Amino acid sequence: MSLLRRCHLLLVAALWCAAAAVQAQESYPVRPVKIVVPYSPGGITDIHARAVAQRRVFTWSQPVIVENRAGASEIVGANAVAKAAPDGYTLFFGTDTALTLNPLLYSKLPYEAKDLTPIVRVNEGIDVMVVRASLPVSSLRDFIVYAKAHTGAVSYGSPGAGTIQHLRMNWLAVQNGFEFIHVPYSGTAPAVHAVLAGTVDTTVSPVTLVEQHIKDGRIKAVAIIGRTRFAGLPDVPSVAELGMPDLDMNLFMVMAAPAGTPKAIVDRIARDTRAVVTDRAFEEKHTFRDGYITVADTPEDFRKFIADAAPKQRQRVNAANAKLD
């Protein structure tokens, strides 16, 4: 075969692949799509996944089915998606824990982070650090001074070892030279109730869970865990403006697909998801009301986020000695 003939065939093949990719993006989906949520029905992640799925039906003209595969810190659901066919018809809707924290917390995962293709970060949860009403502090700086003066005697509640709340609070202690008593609970709500009851000194919680308690004076807010203040608590400064950006470790709701899913399909899902979650009516009804802010980034941005977060998360996991197997 002549060199000219070979070049001609390669050009034809490249054009065919490009045309096939465009066709796949334009025709997708041609059958029902399944979204796997790694939590039980009725939880906040499940509610948001179903809201997105409901809007997608009108865009895609195909059923979008939500399947709950709860258990083991998102491992069950993430593994189900990682093992699915990479065709865009089985998707993951959970948090970035499945791709960022779990590979560091567990030495024996049934999947690897590389088995999932990032699609989009949907939104970012906004948390607030709160303390019991009787604690003699009124700011995060006050709290640090108090904790250093009472090192080893100040307690914080978390939803469990290895959670983002545990890692965040432990890092606060490491960075400021004091020790905490860690009291793990079975979830965020019990930790908040412990602060309300005065049995632990502090915790970090989604703003929606504690906003009214703060306004009623039953607990005190010392910092928003984020880059900016929260509109519902305008007098509470963010950790970024307090000069503590390292504490800005929030969870993101994310979507991912099995590794090997065609880029054209990944891009289509990302584009259509961004259109749904950036709609003002959707934001008002779901995102803002539930204490989140919209992210809606690209697959490339999501991949960069994972790469940038990895060394920071590893540092925090190691500092907390938070291995879960």
* Residue 97 within any structural domain of the chain: yes
> In Å, how far are 53, 88, 295 from 259, measured between CA atoms?
21, 10, 22
Q: Is residue 297 scored above 60 in pLDDT?
A: yes
Q: Is residue 291 scored above 70 in pLDDT?
A: yes
Query: 222, 247, 272 — which closes off a domain?
Result: 247
Q: How many other C-beta atoms lie within 10 A of the C-beta of residue 309? A: 16
- Please write the tens of the pLDDT for every residue from 192-233: 999 999 999 999 999 999 999 999 999 999 999 998 999 999
Backbone angles phi, psi at 134, to 5 degrees: -90, -5
- Please write the tens of the pLDDT for every residue from 112-135: 999 999 999 999 999 999 999 999
* Residue 131 within any structural domain of the chain: yes
Residue 227 and residue 137 share a domain: yes
Residue 116 and residue 256 share a domain: yes
Helix 164-176 crosses helix 140-149 at what angle (to 10 degrees)? 70
* Residue 58 within any structural domain of the chain: yes
Give the pLDDT mean for 22-26: 55
Residue 118 and residue 48 share a domain: yes
Give the pLDDT mean for 266-275: 97
Could you tell me what percent of the chain has a pLDDT over 70?
Answer: 92
Residue 225 contacts by C-beta under 8 Å, 6 or more apart in sequence?
126, 127, 128, 129, 168, 204, 238, 239, 247, 248, 249, 250
Query: What confidence category does residue 24 fall into, taking pLDDT thresholds of 50, 70 and 90?
Result: low
Residue 32 contacts by C-beta under 8 Å, 6 or more apart in sequence?
62, 63, 64, 65, 89
- Please write the tens of the pLDDT for every residue from 175-191: 999 999 999 999 999 99
- Please write the tens of the pLDDT for every residue from 53-88: 999 887 899 999 999 999 999 999 999 999 999 999
Q: 238 lies in which domain range?
A: 127-247
Q: Is residue 5 scored above 70 in pLDDT?
A: no
Number of domains in the chain: 2
* Residue 216 within any structural domain of the chain: yes
* Residue 113 within any structural domain of the chain: yes
**What distance in Å separates the CA atoms of residue 286 and residue 304, rounded to the nearest whole number?**
26
Q: Is residue 10 scored above 80 in pLDDT?
A: no
Give the pLDDT mean for 145-151: 97
**What distance in Å separates the CA atoms of residue 182 and residue 238, rounded to the nearest whole number?**
23
Among 283, 293, 321, smallest CA distance to 121 is for 293
**What distance in Å separates the CA atoms of residue 98 and residue 100, rounded to the nearest whole number?**
6
CB 47 within 8 A of CB 286: yes
Give the pLDDT mean for 28-54: 96
Query: 247, 263, 296 — which closes off a domain?
Result: 247
Residue 146 and residue 107 share a domain: no
Residue 208 and residue 165 share a domain: yes
Q: Tell me, what's the pLDDT at 15?
A: 46
* Residue 293 within any structural domain of the chain: yes
| Residue 98: CATH number of its domain | 3.40.190.150
Residue 134 and residue 99 share a domain: no
Residue 282 and residue 239 share a domain: no
* Residue 144 within any structural domain of the chain: yes
Q: Is residue 253 scored above 80 in pLDDT?
A: yes
Residue 255 and residue 111 share a domain: yes
Residue 242 and residue 202 share a domain: yes
Query: 247, 262, 293 — which closes off a domain?
Result: 247
Q: Tell me, what's the pLDDT at 57?
A: 80
* Residue 24 within any structural domain of the chain: no
Q: Tell me, what's the pLDDT at 6?
A: 58
